[in-house]
């Protein structure tokens, strides 16, 4: 199967749309074009696909509403513009999807949400639940409250982190250019589109340039960085022109559009390596022989019934080591319950979690997607 065909068959897409596209180069939200994209997205969902949107445009829409011609440099003015523009942005997405019979949900994230383990798991659980309900999440950075040192820096990076978070198959970065070229097409009419590349190709650094629209914070350089970040968990990235006719429909049909950046490694193995690089152990779980066998031979999640003892103190979302009864490490992973909660539910079947704790966050103590074998 070709790389394009594999991308077209990808079930879970994260689609990021830049400010200049959403606001007609700063003139205000382009509702007609947005509705065209929504029609294509709704068709994708109707065919069984899952879709998350990372939407720029809040600051640009706020600027338009306030009559500002230049992007503010003051953090507080940027936050105010984002708060003003977010109202129109969310209403526009909701209205368009409602016309296709689909619900949307607004999710605002900060850098802390994806670096703090507990909040990471909460965000992941929320987004996966929304997808399971057939709802289209519309995600943006929480610009109105994010501190300068906590900002993602651009929504390309945010989109890549979301792709990591939900194990996306394909990240689509829609931009005002047709893709990544071997030289600047604005000054060189002979510039050639790079149809496909690997994320680790050093050529990408040489040909990426900065944003010139003045509306967003990203350029091709941020898109290359985002593609490499997404590649850490095995997600392919497509950089495509958002003004191309029926762009998403054509992607789904495996048409050769834009620049496809391949991760060069299988998604499952890549995600395990990504997780392994972030693991700092906070406690230990002692597993019985049956649980050890299930983890090693079947690749399943760890359930409370297989845990005989808990060592140390940890919170939901922190990393724990799973050891056998002889003290040998079997695996590490992000735990769904605190040490106190785990002590209360160990050796119990999952259906009793709600009975004992009064609530259920997850049926698994550690989900297999968040577990790395030693």
Comparing 110-119, 211-220, 278-287, 357-366, which segment has the lowest mean pLDDT? 211-220
What is the mean predicted confidence (pLDDT) over 14-31?
A: 85
**In the numeric block, which tokens belong to residue 269?**
């193995």
pLDDT in the model for residue 9: 83
The mean pLDDT value of the chain amounts to 86
pTM score: 0.77
Q: Quote the percentage of the chain above a pLDDT of 90.
A: 47
pLDDT at 280 over 80: no
CA atoms within 13 A on the CB side of 54: 28
Domain ranges of the chain: 3-272, 279-373
Q: Tokens for 200?
A: 């680790």
Give residue 59's pLDDT. Answer: 84
Task: Read off the pLDDT of each residue in 263-288 and give the average, rounded to a whole number.
Answer: 72
> What is the arithmetic mean of pLDDT over 83-88?
90
Higher pLDDT, 6 or 194: 194
What number is the average pLDDT over the span 97-116?
A: 88
Q: Given this model, what pLDDT does residue 218 score?
A: 44
Angstrom distances, CA of residue 132 to CA of 81, 118, 163, 259, 282: 33, 21, 16, 30, 31
Residue 284 has pLDDT above 50, yes or no: yes
Report the topology of domain 3-272. Answer: Carbamate kinase (3.40.1160)
24 has a pLDDT exceeding 80 = no
* Structure confidence by residue, pLDDT tens digits, 292-306: 999 988 889 999 999
> Considering the domain 279-373, what is its CATH architecture?
Roll (2.30)
As a whole number, mean pLDDT of residues 354-370 equals 91
Q: If DSSP codes are grouped into helix, strand and coil, which group holds residue 131?
A: helix
> Could you tell me the pLDDT band of residue 74, with boundaries at 50, 70 and 90?
confident
Give the count of alpha carbons within 13 A of 316, CB side only: 16
pLDDT at 278: 55
What does the pLDDT average to over 220-225?
86
pLDDT tens-place string over residues 39-54: 999 999 999 999 999 9
- Cα angle 144-155-117, degrees, rounded to a multiple of 5: 75
Confidence at residue 291, expressed as pLDDT on a 0 to 100 scale: 95
pLDDT digits over 177-192, tens only? 888 888 777 778 888 8
* Res. 102: pLDDT tops 50: yes
How much is the pLDDT for 130?
97
DSSP 52-121: EEEE--HHHHHHHHHT-SS---SHHHHHHHHHHHHHHHHHHHHHHHHTTT--EEEEEE-HHHHHSHHHHH
The confidence score (pLDDT) of residue 213 equals 45
Report the chain's terminal Cα–Cα distance, integer Å. 33
Which two structure tokens, joined as six digits, stand for 135? 């709802």
């Amino acid at each position: 199967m070709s790389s394009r065909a594999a991308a077209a068959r990808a079930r879970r897409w994260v689609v990021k749309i830049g400010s200049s596209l959403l606001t007609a180069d700063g003139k205000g939200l382009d509702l007609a074009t947005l509705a065209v994209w929504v029609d294509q997205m709704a068709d994708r969902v109707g065919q069984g696909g899952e879709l998350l949107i990372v939407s720029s445009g809040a600051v640009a829409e706020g600027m338009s509403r306030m009559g500002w011609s230049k992007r503010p440099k003051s953090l507080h003015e940027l936050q105010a513009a984002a708060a003003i523009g977010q109202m129109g942005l969310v209403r526009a997405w909701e209205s368009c999807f409602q016309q296709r019979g689909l619900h949307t949900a607004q999710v605002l994230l900060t850098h802390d949400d994806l670096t703090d383990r507990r909040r990471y798991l909460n965000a992941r659980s929320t987004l996966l639940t929304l997808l399971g309900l057939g709802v289209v999440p519309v995600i943006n950075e929480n610009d109105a409250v994010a501190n300068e040192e906590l900002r993602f820096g651009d929504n390309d990076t945010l989109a890549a982190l979301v792709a990591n978070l939900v194990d996306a198959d394909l990240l689509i970065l829609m931009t005002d250019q047709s893709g990544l070229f071997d030289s600047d097409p604005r000054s060189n009419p002979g510039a050639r589109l790079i149809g496909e590349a690997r994320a680790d190709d050093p050529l990408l650094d040489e040909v990426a340039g900065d944003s010139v629209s003045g509306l967003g914070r990203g350029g091709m350089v941020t898109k290359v960085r985002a593609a490499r970040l997404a590649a850490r968990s095995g997600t392919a990235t497509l950089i495509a022109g958002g003004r191309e006719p029926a762009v998403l429909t054509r992607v789904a049909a495996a048409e050769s559009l834009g620049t496809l950046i391949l991760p060069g490694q299988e998604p499952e193995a890549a995600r395990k390596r990504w997780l392994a690089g972030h693991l700092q152990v906070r406690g230990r779980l002692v597993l019985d022989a049956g649980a050890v066998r299930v983890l090693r031979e079947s690749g399943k999640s760890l359930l409370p019934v297989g845990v005989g003892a808990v060592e140390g103190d940890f919170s939901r979302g922190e990393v724990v080591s799973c050891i056998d009864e002889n003290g040998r490490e079997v695996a590490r992973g992000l735990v769904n319950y605190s040490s106190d909660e785990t002590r209360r539910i160990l050796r119990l079947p999952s259906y009793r979690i709600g009975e004992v704790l009064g609530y259920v966050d997850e049926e698994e103590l550690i989900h297999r997607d968040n577990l790395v074998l030693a």
